[in-house]
Amino acid sequence: MSEQALAAVKSALTSQRIETPSWAYANSGTRFKVFAQPGVPRAPWEKLDDAARVHAHTGVAPVVALHIPWDRVDDYAALAAYAGERGLTLGAVNANVFQEDDYKLGSVTHPDPAVRRKALDHLMECVAIMGATGSRDLKLWFSDGTNYPGQDDIRARQDRLEEALSAVYERLGDDQRLILEYKLFEPAFYATDVPDWGTSYAHCLKLGERAKVCVDTGHHAPGTNIEFIVAFLLREGKLGAFDLNSRFYADDDLMAGAADPFQLFRIMYEVRAGGGLEPDAGIAFMLDQCHNIEPKVPAVIRSVMNVQEATAKALLVDREALAAAQRAGDVLGANGILMDAFQTDVRPLVADVREELGADRDPLAAYAASGWAERIAAERVGGEQAGWGA
Ligand code: PSV
Ligand code: MN
Ligand code: MN
């Protein structure tokens, strides 16, 4: 690789920003058990303290996503200032209309207008919070759906969803975006109201330019070609964000790149090919993971590193050679070019990038040596649960 090409790869890696979720720092688990860990944050402020450690060691994670009400505070501007003092900014505000009894039959698609109103009020509150936090993105995931055929009218629920989304979209400022996440199933098991990228895309298309789709890598049927979805949405200008995590079975929320690093590479290759790594592409690379048994901060660090390594491999693909092989119909040659990049050990390259950013060549070792884990275990007693999995 020429020096110029290498410099371009490094520059792309340097400018990538990986957004970490506040809830990844708190206690979480499965619906069977939450294994509480020593030293987990007792309040959003402490989640930011932990996120700052992740950023200090990796150099590429300066943005933290919030989840409301899990991160409810009296003064969001003060929270943003606190983040700023630690070299962080606040990222997407994730709304939560899935944890109250009223939402048993849905939130914005609920048959009762009073429940719909309540859900919409919460979404509007999130938009107000974005003003104070300086967040660009409102991220919406709806657990809405039905468990049995005939339980509710599928089309009417789409009408209600559309009505709520357009009211929220209207409320957003010119620099703010609505990011609509989809998920195949769970908690609804018969018909989810936003089950797939097509549904999300169709709603976003109607809403307008600042409505985009979020691809959570854990939200598809097994075997789904996620990189195809990514390529398609990017081509249409409708990819807004990722919720990155790994899955073996369903929405496992394991560390990004842990279960299938090849899939993460293929996704990142399509992101790169579609211009999604350009700083002005506006793609938010967020993690959405929930650590059940592994320690929090190192698990987030590991995910950040995995995303970076997949990105580095994607950047190493020789695009010209690949295009030539594709034009020539050289099936094996083209596949070989992609595999060459995937099989490259990029760890030294990424370590160089970190060093140039003033971070650590080996973030996990640096974190272990920093004494932070021992300090928070001693200082924080009674850490918060992330908000689900009780
Ligand atoms: C739903 O499964 C989801 O992926 C949404 O992004 C939620 O906001 C998030 O999980 C909570 O972890
Ligand atoms: Mn998600
Ligand atoms: Mn999920």
For 137-152, write each residue's pLDDT tens digit. Answer: 999 999 999 999 999 9
pLDDT digits (tens, 9 = 90+) for 346-365: 999 999 999 999 999 999 99
Question: Which of 94, 290, 296 has most ligand 1 atoms within 8 Å of its beta carbon, as the pocket-test mutant?
Answer: 94
What distance in angstroms lies between residue 91's CA and the mean position of ligand 2's atoms?
Answer: 14
Cα of 370 from ligand 1 centre, angstroms: 31
Q: Tell how far CA 346 is from the center of its chain.
A: 23
Residue 44 scores a pLDDT above 70: yes
Closest residue by CA, ligand 1 atom 5: 141
ipTM value, please give it: 0.98
| Atom 3 of ligand 1, residue of closest alpha carbon | 141
As for ligand 1, residues whose beta carbon falls within 6 Å of it are 23, 94, 141, 181, 183, 216, 243, 251, 288, 290
Atom 10 in ligand 1: residue holding the nearest Cα: 288
How much is the average pLDDT of 5-22? 96
Which two structure tokens, joined as six digits, stand for 122? 């919460």
Residue whose CB lies within 8 A of the most ligand 1 atoms, among 216, 220, 252, for a mutation test: 216
Output the average pLDDT for the chain: 96
Structural contact between residues 311 and 263, judged by C-beta atoms closer than 8 angstroms:
no
Centroid of ligand 2 to alpha carbon of 181 (angstroms):
7
- Taking only the tens place, the pLDDT of each residue in 221-249 is 999 999 999 999 999 999 999 999 999 99
128 in Cβ contact with 76 (< 8 Å): no
> At residue 388, does pLDDT exceed 80?
no
C-alpha 253 – ligand 3 centre gap (Å): 7
* Residue 378 clears pLDDT 50, i.e. is over it: yes
Full set of structural domains in the chain with CATH:
15-379 (3.20.20.150)
Coil, strand or helix: which one is 282?
coil
Quick one: how far is CA 207 from the chain centroid? 22
Counting ligands in written order, the one closest to the CA of 98 is 1
User: In whole angstroms, what is the distance from residue 159 CA to residue 170 CA?
Assistant: 17
The single-letter DSSP state of residue 351 is H
Could you tell me the distance, in angstroms and rounded to a whole number, from the CA of residue 85 to the centre of ligand 2?
A: 28
DSSP strands (E only) in 127-283 = 137-140, 145-146, 177-181, 191-192, 211-216, 239-244
**pLDDT score recorded for residue 281:** 96
Closest atom of ligand 1 to 95 CA is 8
How far is it, in rounded angstroms, from Cα 326 to Cα 322?
6
Q: Give the number of the atom of ligand 1 that is nearest the alpha carbon of residue 67.
A: 8
Residue listed under structure tokens 């390594």: 309
Q: Kindly tell me if the per-residue pLDDT of 390 is higher than 60.
A: no
Residue 103 reports pLDDT greater than 60: yes
